[in-house]
A = this chain, B = another copy of it.
Amino acid sequence: MAKQGYHHGNLRQALIEAALKLIEEQGPQGFTLSDAAKSAGVTPAAVYRHFAGRDDLIAECARQGFAIFGDLMEHAYNDGKPTALRAFEATGRAYLAFARKFPGHYMAMFESGISMNADPTLARAAERAGAILLRAAEELTRQLPPGRRPPAAMFAAHISAMSHGVVELYTRGTPGARSPFPPEDLLETGIGIYLRGLGLVPPDS
């Protein structure tokens, strides 16, 4: 796909992919503009033809990550079909699937310390992904009697927190206790118990 010779052909995307790989391997802070250039077979200066600098390259990784993330979430939600509950559960699984399949993107998005406010397009991409989960939560809480219906934003925040926590603590080798359970099971059961607590799932299932 990349042309040989003096002109690269699609250096911009090649740099992004190189950056993602490096971020995945060494973390978003260990990532180096010079290394990314080298990986793409190019001089560090060439990067500046396509990006404003190091931060811009990371931001673009995050931006693409949020786009993919949003797509996956949307696809998993599938407009609430077949049922609000099933769609919601699929969304939760999509969260973890994304983190596992696109670790570089995930790290660029959540661990690079990038400032959302600095880049409106980045903020918008992040918002979109969040909105899907929020909508899934809203649909689902409709099934509850108004009296015991939690705010959808809080519901969504709980699920985000649990999902993110599972990714950070049990998906990588890094921190202390690697649990004896696969992260997928951990998240599935965790969300299941939580939904039961809300009365959205029968007590015995």
Q: Give how many copies assemble into the complex.
A: 2
Contact in complex: A175, B116 (CB < 8 Å): yes
Candidates B27, B175, B189; contact of A158 at CB < 8 Å: B189
Residues of A within 8 A of B (CB): 27, 29, 109-111, 113, 115-116, 123, 126-127, 130, 150-151, 153-154, 157-158, 160-166, 168-170, 174-177, 179-181, 186-187, 189-190, 192-199, 203
Question: Nearest CB to that of A158 among chain B residues?
Answer: B190
Candidates B115, B116, B150, B169; contact of A164 at CB < 8 Å: B169
CA distance in complex: A111, B181 (Å) = 22
- The residue in A111, A116, A154, A175 that gathers the most chain B C-beta atoms within 10 A of its C-beta is A175
- 15 contacting pairs across A/B (C-beta < 8 A): A27-B113, A29-B29, A116-B176, A126-B176, A130-B177, A150-B193, A153-B179, A157-B166, A161-B162, A161-B166, A161-B169, A162-B165, A164-B164, A164-B165, A193-B198
The 8 closest A-B pairs by CB, nearest first: A197-B197, A161-B165, A165-B165, A126-B176, A29-B29, A196-B197, A193-B197, A164-B165
